[in-house]
Amino acid sequence: MPAAGTGGLIRRAAWRLRLVLLFAALAALPYLLSYSQQEIAVLLVINVLLVSSYRLLTLTGEWSLGHVVIMGVGAYTSALLAKQAGVPVPLSMLLGGAMAAGTAALLSFPLFRMKGFYFLIGSFAAGEIIRLIWKRFTDPFGGPKGLKRIDPFPDIETGFLSIDFYEPVNYYFLALAVVSVSLFVLYRIERSRIGLTFHAIHWQDRLAESVGVDTFRYRTLAFVIASFFAGIAGGLYAHYVGAVNPTRFSVDQMVYVLVWAIVGGTATFHGPVLGVVVLTVINEIVLRALGLDTARPLIYGLILILAVLYLPNGLESLGPRLRALWQRRRGEPAAAGREPA
């Protein structure tokens, strides 16, 4: 046993080392970027939380088209609480998350009567209704123009330390901290009994039911947890950008989330994160540098189609695939004799 024990220890140490390196790289990152790239980095961090929370929902096998609207519920709630009720901003963000979770809990009654394609369309309809309500009712939602001049995250001012969150670098670290904690929680949930039950519902819902799992309650639970974190992402967004409007949470934006998740692959925790990071870098940095702004949707569309056709398990499957290819190459001399071309 001691051998296995040290092996595990080494592996765990290597994993920790990698995590430390990752955080070091993330901490150094904003200083290597231009101002506008720093702003993109902030939004990217927020989108990582959005797409990771979306993945939790897809664990149970349901694909929603309302996730961005749920994010909007968090954004609108937090903005309104801060603007009109004077709630301090960090608290208002949490309440925004809670509101998003509550909305999800309420929506689960009609939506989880449906499955698959019907759930997809049902979630789309529910989301559109919420979005149109924001658009229609100027008081308090601001109508089509939305809410402007949302209170920013309060500056930290102590004697020797002063942090102004208007600076993208500082907001980047704030978002990074919030998102890291959230991802850790999401990860733990997936590895817990609850997470295993989600998987069971996805692959064998009849079997799970027959051994006494209340699939409706677990689906709702996944939906509520995912929505809470989407709401937090919305709060982070609202107090960074300072403005929200109904168009920002339209189905076009949802398409992007879907693309990130699909292109990255939803089988593993890091898949969607990989998807959003790679596509954002391609989108914001490579395409912008090439001056292909108008062609961007076209290239996005092509990537999407090619990914679905040729990389159905997402970018995450690329690593293992290449490794397998590499190993086959190295084993080729031995295999070549057996298989005549």
Partner 1 sequence: MDLLWQTAVNATYAASYMALIAVGLVMIFGVMGVINFAHGELYMLGAYCVVFLYAQENFPFLLAVAAGLVFVGLVGIVMERTMFRPLRDNPLGGLIASIGFLLILQTLVVFGFGRRMGHVPPSTQGKTEIFGAILTHQRLFVIVAAILLLAALWAFLKRSKFGRALRACAQDAEAASLQGISLNQTARMAMFIGAGLAGVAGALTAPLVSPTPYIGHSIIVTAFIIIIVGGVGSLEGAVIAAVLYAFVHTFVTTFFDGVIANIVGLALMLAVLIVRPTGLFGARERA
Spatial contact of 56 and 222, defined as CB atoms under 8 Å apart:
yes
Residues in touch with partner 1 (CB under 8 A): 63, 110, 113-114, 117-118, 120-122, 124-126, 128-129, 132-133, 135-136, 251-252, 255, 258-259, 262, 294-298, 300-305, 308-309, 312
Compare residues 96 and 122 and give the one whose CB is closer to partner 1: 122
In the complex, the smallest distance separating the C-beta of residue 14 from partner 1, rounded to whole angstroms, is: 36
In the complex, the smallest distance separating the C-beta of residue 110 from partner 1, rounded to whole angstroms, is: 5
In the complex, the smallest distance separating the C-beta of residue 259 from partner 1, rounded to whole angstroms, is: 8
Q: How far apart are CA 127 and CA 115, in angstroms?
A: 16
Compare residues 1 and 309 and give the one whose CB is closer to partner 1: 309
Spatial contact of 80 and 234, defined as CB atoms under 8 Å apart:
no
Would you call 184 helix, strand, or coil by DSSP?
helix
In the complex, the smallest distance separating the C-beta of residue 281 from partner 1, rounded to whole angstroms, is: 19
Q: Which residues contact 303 (CB under 8 A, 6 or more apart)?
A: 259, 263, 279, 282
DSSP per-residue codes, 15-77: HHHHHHHHHHHHHHGGGGS-HHHHHHHHHHHHHHHHHHHHHHHHHTT---S-HHHHHHHHHHH
Tokens of 67: 């996730």
In the complex, the smallest distance separating the C-beta of residue 80 from partner 1, rounded to whole angstroms, is: 20
Compare residues 68 and 183 and give the one whose CB is closer to partner 1: 68
Compare residues 239 and 248 and give the one whose CB is closer to partner 1: 248
Compare residues 252 and 332 and give the one whose CB is closer to partner 1: 252
Compare residues 127 and 231 and give the one whose CB is closer to partner 1: 127
Tokens of 297: 């949707």
Residue 334 burial (CB count, 10 A): 8
Phi, psi of 147 (to 5 degrees): -100, 140
Compare residues 139 and 157 and give the one whose CB is closer to partner 1: 139
Compare residues 15 and 109 and give the one whose CB is closer to partner 1: 109
Smallest CA-to-CA distance from 146 within 243, 43, 238, 237 is with 243
Q: How far apart are CA 121 and CA 65, in angstroms?
A: 7
Q: How far apart are CA 182 and CA 3, in angstroms?
A: 35
In the complex, the smallest distance separating the C-beta of residue 248 from partner 1, rounded to whole angstroms, is: 15
What DSSP state is assigned to residue 249?
Answer: G
What DSSP state is assigned to residue 292?
Answer: -
In the complex, the smallest distance separating the C-beta of residue 234 from partner 1, rounded to whole angstroms, is: 21
In the complex, the smallest distance separating the C-beta of residue 341 from partner 1, rounded to whole angstroms, is: 27
